Amino acid sequence: MTFLSVHRPTVAEIDLSSLAFNFRSVREFVGASVGFMAVVKADAYGHGAVECAKRLEAEGVDWFGVATAEEGVELREVGISKPILVLGGFWPGQEFTLQNHDLTPVIFHIDQARAMSEAAKRQGTIARVHVKIDTGMGRIGIRLKDVATFARDLATLSNLEVEGLMTHFAAADDLDATEFTNQQIARFELAVEIFHENGHRPQFIDMANSPGAVVHPLSRSKMVRIGGLLYGLGGDVLPSGVPQPELKPVMSIRSKIAQIKTIQSGETIGYGRTFTAKRESVIATIAIGYHDGLPRTLSNTGHFLIRGRPAPIVGRVSMDWTTIDVTDIATAAVGDDVTIIGGTGEDLIRAEHLASLTDTISYEITCGISQRVPRRYLNL
- Which pLDDT tens digit goes with each residue over 173-212? 999 999 999 999 999 999 999 999 999 999 999 999 999 9
Catalytically annotated residue among 41, 54, 132, 256: 41
Shared domain check, 281 and 213: no
Shared domain check, 50 and 179: yes
Give the pLDDT score at 3: 52
On average, the pLDDT of the chain sits at 95
Residue 108 domain-assigned? yes
How much of the chain exceeds pLDDT 90, in percent?
92
Q: In whole angstroms, give the CA distance from residue 189 to residue 174.
A: 21
Residue 367 domain-assigned? no
Confidence of residue 380 (pLDDT cuts 50, 70, 90): confident
Give the pLDDT score at 28: 96
Q: In whole angstroms, give the CA distance from residue 164 to residue 134.
A: 14
Shared domain check, 137 and 33: yes
Shared domain check, 297 and 213: no
Catalytically annotated residue among 132, 222, 231, 271: 271
Range 11-31 average pLDDT: 97
Shared domain check, 187 and 101: yes
Residue 213 region, left (φ>0) first, then alpha (ψ -120 to 50), else beta?
Answer: alpha
Give the pLDDT score at 343: 84
Is 290 designated active site?
no
Three-state DSSP class for residue 354: helix
Q: Is the pLDDT of residue 375 over 90?
A: yes
Give residue 325's domain range: 251-349
Shared domain check, 272 and 226: no
Give the pLDDT score at 346: 72
Q: Is the pLDDT of residue 6 over 80?
A: no
Task: Please count the structural domains in the chain.
Answer: 2
| Displacement of CA 368 from its chain's centroid (Å) | 10
Range 221-233 average pLDDT: 95
In the chain the first and final C-alpha atoms are separated, in Å, by 32
Shared domain check, 306 and 191: no
Range 258-282 average pLDDT: 97
Q: Which of 167, 202, 231 is the last residue of a domain?
A: 231
Q: Is the pLDDT of residue 37 over 70?
A: yes
Least trusted range by pLDDT, from 9-13, 32-36, 174-178 = 32-36
Q: In whole angstroms, give the CA distance from residue 160 to residue 116.
A: 7
Q: Is the pLDDT of residue 5 over 70?
A: no
Q: Is the pLDDT of residue 344 over 90?
A: no
Q: In whole angstroms, give the CA distance from residue 86 to residue 42.
A: 12
Confidence of residue 259 (pLDDT cuts 50, 70, 90): very high
Give the pLDDT score at 339: 97
Q: Is the pLDDT of residue 30 over 60?
A: yes
Is 41 designated active site?
yes
Q: Where are the beta strands (DSSP E) in the chain?
A: 11-15, 35-39, 63-66, 84-86, 103-107, 127-134, 142-143, 160-166, 204-206, 223-226, 251-263, 268-269, 275-276, 281-286, 303-306, 309-312, 322-325, 337-341, 375-378
Residue 119 domain-assigned? yes
Residue 181 domain-assigned? yes
Q: In whole angstroms, give the CA distance from residue 34 to residue 326.
A: 50
Range 15-42 average pLDDT: 96
Instruction: Using alpha carbons, select from 339, 337, 336, 360 the residue that is nearest to residue 349.
Output: 339
Shared domain check, 66 and 35: yes
